[in-house]
Structure 1
Amino acid sequence: MTAPFPLDDLDRRILSILQNDATLTNQDLAARVHVSAPTCLRRVRRLVDAGVIEKHVAIVSPEKVGAGLTGIVEITLDTQAAERLAEFEAAMAAEAAVTQCYRVSTGPDFVLVVQVPDMAAYHALVHRAFTARNNVRNVRTFFSVHRSKFDTRVAL
């Protein structure tokens, strides 16, 4: 783990606003955080360069684009050697249906969040990404029946 990037009050105000709406112009953002536009732009660039702001995205509703089935998948591998873990992570990074992949401790080796259109698409994903791999020992999936909270914000 690396030490957290030092954030002052202005950085926190900028991040708080951008986490709600990253489409603001620099002028509008500067006005909302009460600094000049050049100062605001310098701060945002600094946060981007430092990797604090990883990327700017649009959050798409899975249901509205036909990917309304959410699965939370636990994966246990047969072998946990570093190269096998990295190999699995790389394979999951290449799977469009896998929206999040976490290596976890105590329990399964990985927890994934997947978005697929339906159960047939889920089964195809399981075959292609999990059962066809000779290092996957166990797959356990929980399907979301209701999403009560979804947020991309990081508490500052």
Structure 2
Amino acid sequence: MIDRVDRKILSILQKDCTVPVAEIGRRVGLSTTPCWRRIQRMEEEGVIQGRVAVLDPKKVNAKVTVFVAITTDKHTEDWLSRFAELISEFPEVVEFYRMSGQVDYMLRVVVPDIEAYDAFYKRLIAKIDIADVSSSFAMEQIKYTTALPLSYIEDKKE
């Protein structure tokens, strides 16, 4: 379980995972060693899945975001397994979800331009049978964060 101190640690790490452990400890009222133990425990428990650098899409030429809605008439475990394996081969796909409702799967794809998306689309449909693909191009990114809300965590009884 995660307590109030763990939640503070997670909040700091979500904003900047390069903050030294001693500084995190100071901010949450712990010495370095107990703070480090908490971080290690949350890593072992899978609460912290990794630490990454968030890149500027424009500076790495991945400035176009496309939301791709996919419907299929194939609803078997075998088809989904093959589709998931195929999607993992496309580095342009940065998010992949199985959906409820009219759309079966939703992809978030990042590419340099529309021509690159068209090439991605042609490679995708050549490799697997899909009933319908609908693409929506993001015109402007209004909000983006990798930080998850922490207010829903139930406090551990101390």
Do 2:111 and 2:117's aligned partners in 1 also have CA atoms closer than 8 Å?
Answer: yes
What is the CA–CA distance in structure 1 between the aligned matches of 2:97 and 2:62, rounded to whole Å? Answer: 21
For the 8 Å contact 2:92–2:110, the answer to whether it is kept is yes
Deviation at 1:135, TM superposition (A): 2.2
2:151 equivalent to 1:152: no
Displacement of 1:107 in angstroms is 1.5
Q: Which amino acid aligns with 1:52?
A: V
The CA deviation at 1:13 is: 0.5
Q: Which has the higher contact order (CA 8 A, sep 6+)?
A: 2
Distance 2:82 2:29 in 1: 47
Map 1:1-156 → 2, pairs under 5 A? 6-129=1-124, 131-156=125-150
Residue 114 (structure 1) shift: 0.5
Identity of aligned residues (%): 36
Distance 1:94 1:17 in 2: 33
Distance 2:81 2:72 in 1: 12
TM-score, length-normalised on structure 1? 0.92
Runs of 4+ displaced beyond 2 Å: none
Once the two structures are superposed, what CA deviation does each residue of 1:8-36 show, in whole Å capped at 9, x if it has no partner?
Answer: 10110000010000001111111111101
- Normalising by structure 2, we get a TM-score of 0.91
* RMSD of Structure 2 on Structure 1 (CA): 1.0
Q: 1:134 Cα shift?
A: 3.5
Could you tell me which runs of 5 or more consecutive residues in structure 2 were left unpaired when the two chains were aligned.
151-158
**Count of residue pairs the alignment pairs up:** 150
Unaligned runs of 5+ in 1: 1-5
Q: Distance in 2 between matches of 1:101 and 1:28?
A: 36
